[in-house]
Structure 1
């Protein structure tokens, strides 16, 4: 199983922090600053094991992006973890209903994220 993670987030500070944290844990990270770029990267970069998807982005949000990714037969089982500042009652369920495999709220608890990644990548 690949330890390659695709981070899709419109905030470069979030990408930087996630990338730095995950690299120290032995993960290889790729990043896209928009959902459109993330989908292109996903299709062109073999071996991505998990996608960390920011749910609130301009142009195309994470919900729409997950729907597009899930329509591709190659990615129906790809683990997608929703990463969002939306932490109200029902937000986790909304993300899972949209096709996310897991959910973590911002600010990210690294221990929770690593536990989720461990479920999908090990």
Structure 2
């Protein structure tokens, strides 16, 4: 039995592959998108997505812009977003949370930290 669908939005397919493999091993069902625009499209097409793992630094629409678009759409605004970023600089966590993320994990991802966050929302 799966625990809930997770949408991974990341412009790097290697990150999507690694994250999907780890999450699937823990019985999570994953969808993925390689841009903010594609991620928003998938969210609108799949009402059963429980959580979004959002890469914050992407070309085109970045994670901050994608989260802002989600907050503007009443059908998407309630979906929790966990920010995933390589930018582990002072203030980044706060900036992500202020933008609407419910959690924050830095790359390389600590899987136990991530699954701890996921269990709060799935």
Query: Shorter chain as normaliser: what TM range?
Result: over 0.9
Q: Please give the secondary structure, in 2, of the residue aligned with 1:75.
A: coil
Structure 1's consecutive aligned runs of 4 or more residues displaced over 2 angstroms after TM superposition are none
Q: Please give the secondary structure, in 1, of the residue aligned with 2:75.
A: helix
Number of paired residues?
A: 120
Shift of 1:32: 0.2
Give the match for residue 101 of structure 1. Answer: 102
Shift of 1:77: 1.9
Give the match for residue 76 of structure 2. Answer: 75
Given the two structures, how large is their TM-score scaled by the length of structure 1? 0.96
Q: Deviations over 1:23-80 (max 9, x none)?
A: 0101000000111000000001120000000000001110000000111111222110
Map 1:24-63 to 2 at 5 A: 24-63=25-64
- After superposition, the CA RMSD in angstroms is 0.8
* 1:87 maps to 2:88: yes
Give the match for residue 18 of structure 1. Answer: 19
Given the two structures, how large is their TM-score scaled by the length of structure 2? 0.96
Structure 1 unaligned regions, length at least 5: none
